[in-house]
Amino acid sequence: MKILVCLKQVPDTETKIKVAGDGKSLDPTDVKWITSPYDEYALEEGLRLKESAGAEVTVATVGDDKAKDVLRNAFALGADHAVLIKGDGQGDTLATASILAGFAKDKGFDLVLSGNKGLGGDNSAVGPMLAELLGYAQANVVVKLEITDGKFRAEREIEGGTEVVEGSLPAVVTAQKGLNEPRYASLKGIMAAKKKTIEETEVAGHAPATGTLAMTLPAARAEGRKLEGDAASQAKALMDALKNEAKVF
Ligand SMILES: Cc1cc2nc3c(=O)[nH]c(=O)nc-3n(C[C@H](O)[C@H](O)[C@H](O)COP(=O)(O)OP(=O)(O)OC[C@H]3O[C@@H](n4cnc5c(N)ncnc54)[C@H](O)[C@@H]3O)c2cc1C
């Protein structure tokens, strides 16, 4: 079985996000980049299928040179092949999905795994678009996956419950938190990853169908105030503030 795992590099959740001078993109200064957490579940699932069913795992990302870090990390975890699909700038979900589809279309992947959404972008669109462009079956927001005899059985998280779907491979499956517990890289894996070759390619895709007009940060919140004294006087001060300052009642 041949598996493609789509990895997106995203800013670390600890990063203090700044909007760039153009008012519509992220200022990359001081940003630490990581693999989108949902993609970690996708990769772990691929690696488990490698171990249980002898699958071959290829990871790919559309991005610039700094995205090589997420590919190197995937090598350290156990991926067999890593591909940087070069793009210098930002594209939208359709552009990204079409580039990934162009890359994958003749390579005979039985299963494509991606995150259900890329942290920060949050479009939840690339996986389903990729399935449509490739003409593959799809199951999204998956928390359990079984592959047997060319078929998949997936449990999907839906509002208030779980839906179980099945279909035939090839398929695109997008991972949700809970699908598995991603592993950590071992020191041996990290050292071995340094010697592996990241392939680089360029694939023509759809022109972006959308463009970002503006990006803004949430309005700054007023500083909090610490109420002093014992519990009774704190409660009284809180009631005073709610009544006379916030005018809640
Ligand atoms: C020409 C071009 C250049 C780009 N350059 C960069 C770049 O330098 N840095 C950067 O971070 N992004 C780059 N992108 C990616 C683009 O910014 C995002 O794909 C897009 O904004 C959608 O992100 P999302 O997280 O909202 O998508 P979602 O639909 O929420 O993502 C869902 C899943 O799709 C997969 N996915 C999403 N984006 C990618 C990707 N880029 N590569 C592989 N799998 C992906 C992941 O598995 C992800 O979990 C580029 C795209 C194009 C077309």
206 touches ligand 1 (CB under 6 Å) = no
| Domains delineated in the chain | 2-201 (3.40.50.620), 219-249 (no CATH)
Dihedral sign for Cα 26, 172, 207, 93, please.
negative
End-to-end CA distance of the chain: 64
Q: Tell me the β-bridge partners of 81.
A: 58
As to burial, measured by CB atoms within 10 angstroms (0-12 exposed, 13-18 middle, 19+ buried), residue 237 is middle
87 touches ligand 1 (CB under 6 Å) = yes
Which pLDDT score, from 0 to 100, does residue 1 have? 96
User: Best substitution site from 62, 117, 176 to test ligand 1's pocket, by max atoms within 8 Å of Cβ?
Assistant: 62
Is residue 85 within 8 A of residue 100, CB to CB? The reply is: yes
The H-assigned helical ranges of 78-218 are 93-104, 126-134, 187-194
Alpha-carbon span 181 to 76, nearest angstrom? 16
Residues 89-115: b if buried by 16+ CB within 10 A, e if exposed: ebbbbbbbbbbbbbbbeeeebbbbbbb
CA 223 to chain centre: 33
What is the residue with the minimal CA distance to atom 51 of ligand 1?
91
pLDDT tens across the length of the chain (249 residues) = 999 999 999 999 888 889 999 999 889 888 999 999 999 999 999 999 999 999 999 999 999 999 999 999 999 999 999 999 997 667 899 999 999 999 999 999 999 999 999 998 899 999 999 999 999 999 999 999 999 999 999 999 999 999 999 999 999 999 999 999 999 999 999 999 999 999 999 999 999 999 999 999 888 888 888 999 999 999 999 999 999 988 988
For the chain, how big is the Rg over CA atoms in Å?
22
What is the residue with the minimal CA distance to atom 3 of ligand 1?
87
Question: Sheet of 137-148: strands edge to edge?
Answer: 161-168, 151-158, 137-148, 171-175, 111-115, 2-6, 56-63, 81-86, 198-201
Q: Which ligand 1 atom is nearest residue 130's CA?
A: 34
Is residue 176 within 8 A of residue 163, CB to CB? The reply is: no
What is the residue with the minimal CA distance to atom 25 of ligand 1?
118
126 touches ligand 1 (CB under 6 Å) = yes
121 touches ligand 1 (CB under 6 Å) = yes
Is residue 48 within 8 A of residue 179, CB to CB? The reply is: no
Alpha-carbon span 227 to 41, nearest angstrom? 43
Which residues, in sequence order, are CB contacts of 7 under 8 Å at separation 6+? 35, 36, 39, 42, 43, 59, 60, 61, 70, 71, 74
- Ligand 1 center from residue 212 Cα (angstroms): 14
Nearest CA to 92 out of 213, 214, 210, 216 is that of 210
The pTM of this model reads 0.90
Which pLDDT score, from 0 to 100, does residue 89 have? 64
Dihedral sign for Cα 174, 91, 83, 9, please.
negative
